[in-house]
Chains A and B, each alone.
Chain A
Amino acid sequence: MLEEIRIGVYVCHCGSNIADKVDCPAVAAYASQLPHVVVARDYQYMCSDPGQELIRQDIKELKLNRVVVASCSPRMHEPTFRKVCESAGLNGYLYEMANIREHCSWVTEDPQQATEKAKALVRAAVARVVHHEPLFERWAPVNPNILVVGGGIAGIEAALKVAAAGNKVWLVEKSPSIGGNMARLDKTFPTLDCSACILTPKMVSVAQDENITLLTYAEVEQVEGYVGNFRVTIRKKARSVDLNKCTGCGRCQEKCPVEVPSEFEAGLAMRKAIYTPFPQAVPNKPAIDREHCRHFTRTKGKCRVCFNVCQVGAIDYDQEDELVTYECGAIIVATGYGLFDPSVGPQWGYGRYDDVITAIQFERLVNASGPTKGKVVCKDGRVPERIAILHCIGSRDENYHPYCSRICCMASLKLAHLAREKTGAEVYNFYIDLRAFGKGYEEFYNRILEEGVNFIRGKGAEVTQKDGRLVVRGEDTLLGRYREVPVDLVILNTALEPQPDATKVAQIFGIQRSADGFFLESHPKLEPLKTATDGVFIAGCCQGPKDIPDSVAQGAGAAAEALSLATAGKVKISPVVASIDPDLCSGCRMCLPLCPYGAISFNEEKKVAEVNETLCKGCGTCAASCGSGALNVRHFTRNQILTQIEEVLAV
């Protein structure tokens, strides 16, 4: 005999978040009339301990075998109430949630309409839950190996932390060396410690750590599998240099006849076609840039200078890209940021005037190992007497990026200090607001003020030339006056933006992006490192602009996330997967090519399709196209959805 269906309905006030618009007692009263409903209650906070206890008691005392909670989004608290049911001995899938907060009270102006809508949503949930079946989560083992993508400070920190725990980690870096943007900085605010001095020891530790396998000049091409059990395909780009033979002596780079603007020096100096990006690079061994190398471009193999000067025979022109696979349980993506190109705005004169440079170029200019050996000079060699630093170039600007890039205020203060220290020049900072938000930042700002830097409150609107001298124009909003400041050097502090290939990277790893284009975290406050794909974490500036302390904290945090998966050794796999009724399957095989995971196979003996539940992720695309109705997705069955549609329309 069929078991009698006994449903409990719980309408949450969420303090006033729901109750302000939805008449919760009325919704509960309405629910109590619905078929199979044994009890319907409304309560202040269903997710609180007493709220949860209410459900538990009812399940036991009233012998409930179905539960509906009408509260927030299931994306928020579905797991909470599923656990509540389970702790009272009820299968967690015999419960359904009605979203009367995000989809109802918060978006509806009129309380009466909100209440009606809430009734409809609850009615649909009650009707749906009748058709729910108990489902059982499975456990899958977790591969303890971890992958880190991006070797900036965030990725480096993550890799070192994972390795310190004893787990194996592969660190994949796109460029020929790790270090990222931090390697290009001179000093770091607010303490002014030298960037290389604090970064290079960490880079060296990466190279020396037995648990870390470093793949530079490499990119991830494909990610298959699921949390705990990823299979990653990595393309090791042909470096044309055998890293095992190369000693890093540098002769090849001396002799190479081809010069290319150096990315590391932000175009202020040239590098060779065979190059190590910077002196402290890890690995400290070169790569041939085939796009520019004469051997590969112009002379059809005739230029062999590097090959000839190499004493250990490390140059290998025939090297090909290599695809390697890596199996791991968790992935940390730390691919960092790109920088806004100010030449798109002619008003700033970048690209037009030699002495308009970007902040990252200035970082290289003041750096002792930079193109001028640390001398701050104009293009013609003069030491600048007056320098302007323009904040927020491309940030907080509706025409480019509406967001604040966070670090520019502090970086501009730092550059003002360095400029004065190196040149004694008068320095003018054009700013909109000064945001000194971090530990020690306000103190740093005060210090720079005392050093005699001039602050002009107003965006540097235009850079022009007058009598052979650069002039920065802008409105001083404090004085209410238009200013023209003649200077010798202009520094544009450009916005941090998503990497140019962020779209592709997001797709490879199944990461979503926020409106600004940076990678989207699962929850802005409570899950800053998780993504929509279980087992894939993000850290550092790929999630949004941030300073080094925050990038490091996120790197370490992401390592902890990955390690907690690895240490648990097993992970729950959702039972929401496709299932096939062999009696109905006509064996047409339409579903086979539809599955992106290859989870459906054809049983030649029985002439029916079969689902591999470990591979299936439950999207339901197969079910939607099954002509004979044999395919279904558990917890999203045809019957459940159709019932829900029918009932949501009944109010």
Chain B
Amino acid sequence: MTNGFEPKIVGILCNWCSYAGADLAGISRLKYPANIRIIRVMCSGRVEPSFVLKAFQKGADGVLVSGCHPGDCHYMEGNYKMARRNVFIEELLASFGIEKGRYRQTWISASEGEIFAQVVREMVEEVRKLGPFPGLGARLKELAAAEGGK
């Protein structure tokens, strides 16, 4: 563990695959860091860009969004819609100066408990290295200052 910093990560998971995958990690008693807090949505297609931004605004150091593998969405196409929206989400986060490693979008199935645990372990490590996220306002100020300093 470095610098005693415990990142807060919000995981927004679809009910049918990824949330169930996280359940399976629990049922299998796999261990992963307690830094992630999971929010359930019925489908990854429900995830709005504002959900991700809100998390960063309210103190998250990282956000994970996860749905069913392509083709496996319980509602057939929700994850494809999410994948398309995700391009926008990533651009949006970049424009706020949010580092890539703080946001991750994955597909995890109901049987992939181990993969879920692994994704969380990796993400926590990555975000720990990036350090605390200062918040949207502070980050924008940082960006502006850097811009002005040029």
A residues whose Cβ falls under 8 Å from a Cβ of B: 73-75, 99, 101-104, 106-110, 113-114, 116-117, 120-121, 124, 503, 506-507, 510, 512-515, 520, 532-533, 576, 594, 596, 617-621, 623-625, 633, 636, 638, 641-642, 644-646, 648-650
Is B59's CB under 8 angstroms from A649's CB? Answer: yes
Specify the chain B residue showing the minimal Cβ separation from A648: B37
CB pairs A–B below 8 angstroms (29 shown):
A74-B40, A99-B23, A99-B38, A102-B25, A103-B26, A104-B34, A107-B31, A107-B34, A107-B117, A120-B37, A124-B39, A510-B74, A512-B109, A514-B111, A596-B77, A617-B75, A619-B43, A620-B42, A620-B43, A620-B78, A624-B45, A624-B46, A624-B81, A638-B48, A641-B39, A641-B46, A642-B51, A645-B60, A649-B55
Is B50's CB under 8 angstroms from A642's CB? Answer: yes
Across the interface, which residues of A come within 8 angstroms of B27, CB to CB?
Answer: 102, 106
Whole-angstrom distance between the alpha carbons of A112 and B12 in the complex?
Answer: 24
Whole-angstrom distance between the alpha carbons of A333 and B122 in the complex?
Answer: 38
Across the interface, which residues of A come within 8 angstroms of B16, CB to CB?
Answer: 512, 532
Q: Which 10 A-B pairs have the closest CB atoms?
A: A102-B26, A620-B46, A621-B45, A619-B75, A619-B43, A106-B26, A113-B34, A102-B23, A515-B111, A649-B59
Q: Which of B10, B72, B77, B110 meets A621, CB within 8 Å?
A: B77
Is B71's CB under 8 angstroms from A625's CB? Answer: no
Instruction: Answer whether residue B112 sits at the interface, using C-beta atoms and an 8 A cutoff.
Output: yes
> How many whole Å from B82's CB to the nearest CB in chain A?
8
Given the interface contacts A512-B72, A624-B45, A641-B39, does A110 sit within 8 Å of B34 by beta carbon? Answer: yes
Instruction: Answer whether residue B98 sits at the interface, using C-beta atoms and an 8 A cutoff.
Output: no
Whole-angstrom distance between the alpha carbons of A507 and B79 in the complex?
Answer: 14
Specify the chain B residue showing the minimal Cβ separation from A642: B54
Instruction: Answer whether residue B64 sits at the interface, using C-beta atoms and an 8 A cutoff.
Output: no
Across the interface, which residues of B come within 8 angstroms of A623, CB to CB?
Answer: 46, 48
Chain B 16-59 interface mask (CB, 8 Å, partner A; 1/0): 11011011011101111010011111110111101100110011
Whole-angstrom distance between the alpha carbons of A114 and B43 in the complex?
Answer: 27
Residue with the greatest number of chain B CB neighbours at <10 A, chosen from A532, A594, A650: A532
Specify the chain A residue showing the minimal Cβ separation from B8: A649
Across the interface, which residues of A come within 8 angstroms of B20, CB to CB?
Answer: 75, 512
Across the interface, which residues of B come within 8 angstroms of A116, CB to CB?
Answer: 34
Q: Which of A75, A576, A617, A646 meets B54, CB within 8 Å?
A: A646
Apart from A75-B15, A620-B42: 10 A-B pairs, beta carbons within 8 A: A99-B38, A102-B26, A110-B34, A512-B16, A576-B42, A621-B43, A624-B46, A645-B10, A645-B54, A648-B37
Specify the chain B residue showing the minimal Cβ separation from A513: B111
Q: Which of B34, B81, B85 meets A108, CB within 8 Å?
A: B34
Whole-angstrom distance between the alpha carbons of A532 and B31 in the complex?
Answer: 26
Is B26's CB under 8 angstroms from A619's CB? Answer: no
Given the interface contacts A75-B23, A107-B31, A642-B50, does A507 sit within 8 Å of B55 by beta carbon? Answer: no
Whole-angstrom distance between the alpha carbons of A596 and B76 in the complex?
Answer: 7
Is B111's CB under 8 angstroms from A619's CB? Answer: no
Is B42's CB under 8 angstroms from A618's CB? Answer: yes
Whole-angstrom distance between the alpha carbons of A113 and B6 in the complex?
Answer: 10
> How many whole Å from B52's CB to the nearest CB in chain A?
9
Across the interface, which residues of A come within 8 angstroms of B19, CB to CB?
Answer: 73, 75
Is B72's CB under 8 angstroms from A596's CB? Answer: no
Whole-angstrom distance between the alpha carbons of A618 and B46 in the complex?
Answer: 9
Across the interface, which residues of B come within 8 angstroms of A617, CB to CB?
Answer: 75
Whole-angstrom distance between the alpha carbons of A541 and B76 in the complex?
Answer: 25
Chain B 115-144 interface mask (CB, 8 Å, partner A; 1/0): 001000000000000000000000000000
Whole-angstrom distance between the alpha carbons of A113 and B4 in the complex?
Answer: 13
Whole-angstrom distance between the alpha carbons of A114 and B40 in the complex?
Answer: 19
Whole-angstrom distance between the alpha carbons of A506 and B68 in the complex?
Answer: 13
Is B31's CB under 8 angstroms from A108's CB? Answer: yes
Residue with the greatest number of chain B CB neighbours at <10 A, chosen from A74, A106, A114: A106
> How many whole Å from B32's CB to the nearest CB in chain A?
5
Q: Which of A73, A103, A507, A624 meets B72, CB within 8 Å?
A: A507
Given the interface contacts A101-B26, A107-B32, A646-B58, does A124 sit within 8 Å of B37 by beta carbon? Answer: yes
Residue with the greatest number of chain B CB neighbours at <10 A, chosen from A104, A113, A649: A649
Across the interface, which residues of A come within 8 angstroms of B55, CB to CB?
Answer: 645, 649
Is B41's CB under 8 angstroms from A620's CB? Answer: yes
Across the interface, which residues of B come within 8 angstroms of A512, CB to CB?
Answer: 16-17, 20, 72, 109-111
Is A624's CB under 8 angstroms from B54's CB? Answer: no
Is A520's CB under 8 angstroms from B76's CB? Answer: no
> How many whole Å from B40's CB to the nearest CB in chain A?
7
> How many whole Å from B90's CB to the nearest CB in chain A?
16
Interface residues of B in 68-96 (CB under 8 A from A): 71-72, 74-78, 81-82, 85
Residue with the greatest number of chain A CB neighbours at <10 A, chosen from B16, B37, B43, B117: B37
Whole-angstrom distance between the alpha carbons of A533 and B82 in the complex?
Answer: 21
Whole-angstrom distance between the alpha carbons of A594 and B84 in the complex?
Answer: 12
Is A532's CB under 8 angstroms from B48's CB? Answer: no
Whole-angstrom distance between the alpha carbons of A106 and B20 in the complex?
Answer: 14
Specify the chain B residue showing the minimal Cβ separation from A113: B34
Given the interface contacts A73-B23, A619-B45, A621-B75, does A644 sit within 8 Å of B29 by beta carbon? Answer: no
Given the interface contacts A73-B23, A596-B77, does A520 sit within 8 Å of B42 by beta carbon? Answer: no
Whole-angstrom distance between the alpha carbons of A618 and B42 in the complex?
Answer: 7
Across the interface, which residues of A come within 8 angstroms of B46, CB to CB?
Answer: 619-621, 623-624, 633, 636, 641
Across the interface, which residues of A come within 8 angstroms of B31, CB to CB?
Answer: 107-109
> How many whole Å from B44's CB to the nearest CB in chain A?
9
Is A619's CB under 8 angstroms from B58's CB? Answer: no
Is B60's CB under 8 angstroms from A649's CB? Answer: yes
> How many whole Å from A19's CB to the nearest CB in chain B?
15
Is A532's CB under 8 angstroms from B42's CB? Answer: no
Is A594's CB under 8 angstroms from B74's CB? Answer: no
> How many whole Å from A577's CB to the nearest CB in chain B?
10
Across the interface, which residues of A come within 8 angstroms of B117, CB to CB?
Answer: 107
Across the interface, which residues of A come within 8 angstroms of B30, CB to CB?
Answer: 107
Across the interface, which residues of B come within 8 angstroms of A507, CB to CB?
Answer: 71-72
Whole-angstrom distance between the alpha carbons of A109 and B117 in the complex?
Answer: 13
Q: Which of A75, A503, A633, A645 meets B39, CB within 8 Å?
A: A645
Whole-angstrom distance between the alpha carbons of A532 and B72 in the complex?
Answer: 11
> How many whole Å from A112's CB to the nearest CB in chain B?
9
Whole-angstrom distance between the alpha carbons of A520 and B109 in the complex?
Answer: 11
Across the interface, which residues of A come within 8 angstroms of B85, CB to CB?
Answer: 624-625
> How many whole Å from A129's CB to the nearest CB in chain B?
14
Across the interface, which residues of B come within 8 angstroms of A645, CB to CB?
Answer: 10, 12, 39, 51, 54-55, 58, 60
Is A624's CB under 8 angstroms from B111's CB? Answer: no
Residue with the greatest number of chain B CB neighbours at <10 A, chosen from A101, A121, A624, A644: A624
> How many whole Å from A119's CB to the nearest CB in chain B?
11
Is B72's CB under 8 angstroms from A620's CB? Answer: no
Is B43's CB under 8 angstroms from A117's CB? Answer: no
Is B23's CB under 8 angstroms from A621's CB? Answer: no
Is B45's CB under 8 angstroms from A620's CB? Answer: yes
Is A106's CB under 8 angstroms from B37's CB? Answer: no
> How many whole Å from A96's CB to the nearest CB in chain B?
10
Whole-angstrom distance between the alpha carbons of A594 and B39 in the complex?
Answer: 23
Whole-angstrom distance between the alpha carbons of A638 and B12 in the complex?
Answer: 13
Whole-angstrom distance between the alpha carbons of A116 and B8 in the complex?
Answer: 12
Whole-angstrom distance between the alpha carbons of A620 and B45 in the complex?
Answer: 6
Across the interface, which residues of B come within 8 angstroms of A106, CB to CB?
Answer: 26-27, 29
